């Protein structure tokens, strides 16, 4: 039996590198998710050790053991892990013993290896395990109050079955043979006596992250037909993505054309506004301002198009005249600078622009020596037009800063 299991295991280890071991979900190809690999299990069961002196009775030589395994399943066929077991053995009532075995092992899923195309029991598997490690044993002779400790190495081979309980948990059982080679007295018995053991255990395995990912232990190798199906699905996905991209490009081109037409309209309005500003500058140059109060009440302070900080040349001239008269006249108590805009654009934006323009006028006056504590600013946006906003000329007149002087 051992030779048969070992032969199958070695055959599996030889075939693994040449086998397609891509994870295939137990559901459908389209439902594949990222896979997880780690699992942890606890187990317990019966032990039968052949340790000298033998009690001569199979039942007397049987005992119990507990253990745990931490395993990394690389693909649906193969994995490796770490095992730690606490095992008891008897050689009659007078000579109990125990060993703590820590070992490494490799595991092959024989079901996935020998029947990858099965339709039933797609999860779970039949596992062949082989490995070895270090044993730390303690043996007693109760009547002589004798206690013997020792260490050595062991090899193991086993065959197990795993039955899934959903995605995360699984029941597993294993029959295992272990052979011990001790440095000193062979588990506390006769050094010339063969020391080996048979274990039969049941356990519960938890597959880590299996609730969020497809765990490798829940999968099987992909068949050539499934490879083709996955390729066809991927081609279909790429075609759908290409179709969506073409629609996005078409929508982007339409949006760009609309933006170009809108920009052309803006450029036309800008040229008209510039011409209107030029006419306004010519009108301002032809007027004479006798004093700051009259000038402030009869002339608009205008800004360059789209700016809240750059004034027209004629407006700068008017500001110089206003500043000079305000400094010369000490009878005034407060100057209110009121900013206005046309009705193009959001009201909140227009109010902010009108206030920023009033603040710019204030900064110019203060820079020319006017007392800053006597100047206040306010932005009313489009709330108080002096002309119709239905024409460019009317909108130009509404984009202004007014002076309100208190004495």
- In this prediction, residue 176 carries a pLDDT of 97
In angstroms, the Cα distances linking 8 to 20, 78, 165, 201 are 19, 13, 27, 22
400-406 and 35-36: which strand pairing? unpaired
Beta bridge partners, 107, equal 79, 129
Closest by CA to 38, choosing from 209, 164, 219, 204, is: 209
334-340 and 375-379: which strand pairing? parallel
pTM of the predicted protein model: 0.50
Contact at 8 Å (CB) between 368 and 320? Answer: yes
312: three-class secondary structure by DSSP? coil
Residues for the chain: how many in total?
407
Q: Where are the alpha helices (DSSP H) in 45-137?
A: 58-61, 110-114
Closest by CA to 197, choosing from 182, 211, 212, is: 182
Q: How many CB atoms lie within 10 A of CB 242?
A: 10
Closest by CA to 88, choosing from 106, 116, 67, 109, is: 67
Q: Residue holding tokens 């209110």?
A: 336
Contact at 8 Å (CB) between 363 and 263? Answer: no
Instruction: Please state, in angstroms and rounded to a whole number, the distance separating the CA atoms of residues 299 and 255.
Output: 42
- In this prediction, residue 115 carries a pLDDT of 84
Q: Name 375's Cβ contacts closer than 8 Å, sequence gap at least 6.
A: 334, 335, 337, 362, 365, 366
- In this prediction, residue 315 carries a pLDDT of 78
Instruction: Please state, in angstroms and rounded to a whole number, the distance separating the CA atoms of residues 374 and 325.
Output: 15
Closest by CA to 178, choosing from 152, 158, 197, is: 197
Token readout for 183 is: 């440095």
One-character DSSP codes across 259-296: HHHHHHHHHHHHHHHHHHHHHHHHHHHH----SHHHHH
Vertex 172: Cα angle to 203 and 58 (nearest 5): 70
Q: Residue holding tokens 């690999």?
A: 37
What are the average pLDDT values for consecutive 10-residue runs of the chain, which has 407 residues? 44 43 40 76 94 72 94 94 94 83 96 82 86 92 81 94 92 95 68 85 94 85 67 85 90 89 88 85 52 48 71 80 84 88 85 88 88 90 87 81 84
């Amino acid at each position: 039996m051992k030779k048969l299991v070992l032969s199958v295991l070695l055959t599996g280890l030889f075939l693994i590198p040449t086998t397609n071991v891509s994870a295939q979900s137990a559901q459908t190809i389209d439902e594949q998710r990222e896979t997880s690999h780690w699992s942890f299990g606890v187990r317990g069961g019966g032990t039968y050790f052949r340790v000298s002196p033998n009690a001569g009775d199979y039942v007397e030589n049987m005992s119990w053991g507990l253990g745990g395994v931490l395993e990394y399943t690389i693909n649906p066929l193969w994995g490796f892990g770490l095992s730690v077991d606490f095992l008891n053995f008897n050689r009659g009532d007078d000579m109990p013993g125990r060993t703590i075995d820590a070992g490494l092992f490799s595991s092959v899923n024989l079901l996935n290896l020998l029947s990858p195309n099965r339709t039933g029991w797609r999860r779970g598997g039949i596992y062949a395990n082989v490995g070895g490690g270090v044993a730390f044993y303690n043996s007693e002779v109760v009547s002589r109050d004798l206690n013997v400790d020792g260490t050595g190495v062991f090899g193991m081979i086993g065959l197990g079955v795993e039955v899934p309980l959903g995605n995360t948990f699984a029941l597993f059982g294993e029959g295992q043979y272990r052979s011990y080679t001790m440095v000193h007295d062979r588990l506390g018995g006769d050094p010339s006596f063969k020391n080996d053991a048979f274990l039969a255990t049941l356990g519960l395995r938890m597959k880590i992250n299996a609730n969020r990912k497809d765990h490798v232990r829940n999968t099987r190798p992909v068949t050539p037909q499934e490879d083709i199906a996955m390729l066809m699905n991927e081609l279909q996905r790429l075609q759908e993505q290409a179709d969506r991209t073409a629609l996005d490009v078409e929508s982007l081109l339409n949006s760009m054309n609309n933006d170009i037409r809108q920009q052309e309209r803006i450029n036309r309005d800008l040229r008209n506004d510039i011409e209107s500003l030029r006419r306004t500058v010519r009108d301002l140059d032809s007027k004479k301002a006798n004093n700051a109060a009259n000038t402030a009440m009869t002339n608009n302070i205008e800004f360059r198009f789209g700016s809240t900080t750059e004034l027209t040349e004629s407006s700068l001239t008017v500001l110089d005249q206003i500043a000079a008269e305000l400094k010369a006249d000490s009878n005034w108590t407060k100057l209110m600078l009121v900013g206005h805009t046309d009705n193009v654009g959001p009201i909140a934006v227009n109010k902010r622009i009108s206030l920023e323009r009033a603040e710019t006028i204030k900064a110019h006056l203060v820079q020319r020596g006017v007392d800053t504590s006597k100047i206040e600013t306010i932005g009313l946006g489009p709330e108080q037009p002096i002309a119709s906003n239905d024409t460019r000329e009317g909108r130009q007149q509404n984009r202004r800063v007014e002076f309100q002087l208190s004495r």
